[in-house]
Amino acid sequence: MFGLVRPCRHGMCASLFKEWMAHLCGLCLTLRTEHGQASRLVTNYDGLLVSVLVEAQSRDRSPHRKAGPCALRGMRTAEVVDAKAEGARLAAAVSLLLAAGKTRDHVADRDGAYARRLVASTAGRVASRWDEAGARTSVALGFDPAVLRDAVERQTLLEAASGLALLDLTEPTETAVAAAFAHTAVLAGRPGNSEPLAEAGRFFGRLAHLIDAVEDLEADRAAGAYNPLLATGTDLTEARRHCDAALHGLRLALAEAEFEDRRLVSALLGREVRRSVDQVFAGHPQGPGGPGPYGPQQPYGPQQPYGPGQYPPQYPGRPPHGPFGPKRPGAGLLCLAGSAIFCTCGMWQPPWSPHNGRSCGDRCWCSRNCDGGCDCGDCSGCGDCCNCCDCCDCDCGCDC
């Protein structure tokens, strides 16, 4: 659906990481069970948001089971969301439908290897199978697959048009995500949540499209490729204004929805989305950086301007962010293509962090950034968001 960057286990509160992995592995195994081994290729970190939303609204609708050893888990067993869970099935269906649409778009545009006839033919057949499989499951769950199919087709038509505003171009993505989010309320037996979750989906879809555009801006400019910011003449200041408005709308919409347990939802659709926006603008070569509204809000303290292959002097020859290099945390913020969910309140701090070895409150990103506007909406600036907002199950052994 949206994103593929592997998060680091040590950056998460253990309880949230376990819940997050249960949904990720559950999505992967649901795809295998319902649609065969090859369909697991569409497993992605942000597609599981659908499964997370269903369970957050009603745990009874999201049964778990024990899964056998898996190489991606270091050959360990794990508790995962069962393939019978409707949230996992909807996540699988949405992932298949959007992957099919994206693949067909690449074939139509003859992007890269897709310009080769054999590759394009094979990819087209695979996309057709994914589309049919996703549609079967969607219909079985009462979700209309035409909403997602139409969104992909309409996006192509809008990009070929002229004289459109930026938010006209984000509409198909907003509509697709809104429909998926709203249907989680139906599956969870909470119809009253349909409207606020649809609104949350629209804002999340808008953010997905805008962040994708900002992140790809320079590459698209150099390649002469389509980019909605270039097509509409939107500068980064205006794009950031739209993102900030969408972040505010997303937060308000989620606050209106009723959840049995909103901690993982708040982590993924709250602070991680906000942090992703902060970082993509702060790291953009054409955008403002440093202190101020575009400055990064890092869970590990200020970042140092190390060049390619250069690491902190006390750790020569090794990347400060793990074997995969620096990653941008995010809650799925690339339009139908790719970003990260790096679910953490910052309780674990790497040795080079200025917060390493400090008190629980100093290490917790939530508490350090508590300004009365926490994800739960109830904090009055107490400086202790882990307790005030119940943002995580802190199992670090400290008093908080």
Q: What's the pLDDT score for residue 73?
A: 80
Identify the bridge partners of residue 78 per DSSP, sorted by sequence position: 67
Question: What is the rounded CA–CA span in Å between residue 294 and residue 277?
Answer: 9
Q: What is the CA angle 301-304-310, rounded to 5?
A: 130
pLDDT single digits (tens) 80-104: 999 999 999 999 999 999 999 889 8
Is the Cβ–Cβ distance between 337 and 213 less than 8 Å?
Answer: no
Please determine, for residue 300, whether its predicted confidence score (pLDDT) is greater than 80.
Answer: no
Q: What's the pLDDT score for residue 267?
A: 87
Q: Which two tokens stand for residue 88?
A: 């996992």
Mean model confidence pLDDT for the chain = 76
Is the Cβ–Cβ distance between 349 and 355 less than 8 Å?
Answer: yes
Q: What's the pLDDT score for residue 47?
A: 82
pLDDT single digits (tens) 249-292: 999 999 999 999 999 999 889 888 898 899 899 867 665 443 33
Dihedral of the alpha carbons of 29, 30, 31, 35, in degrees to the nearest 10 = 120
pLDDT single digits (tens) 135-182: 999 999 999 999 999 998 999 899 889 899 999 999 999 999 999 999
**pLDDT band at residue 363 under the 50/70/90 scheme:** low
Mean pLDDT of 360-368: 59
Q: What's the pLDDT score for residue 107?
A: 86
Q: What's the pLDDT score for residue 44?
A: 80
pLDDT single digits (tens) 228-255: 999 999 999 999 999 999 999 999 999 9
Q: What's the pLDDT score for residue 356?
A: 66
Pick from 247, 258, 204, 244: nearest CA to 1: 204
pTM of the model: 0.73
- Cα distances from 55 to residues 38, 66, 94, 386, in angstroms, run 26, 17, 17, 22
Please determine, for residue 129, whether its predicted confidence score (pLDDT) is greater than 90.
Answer: yes
39: helix, strand or coil: helix
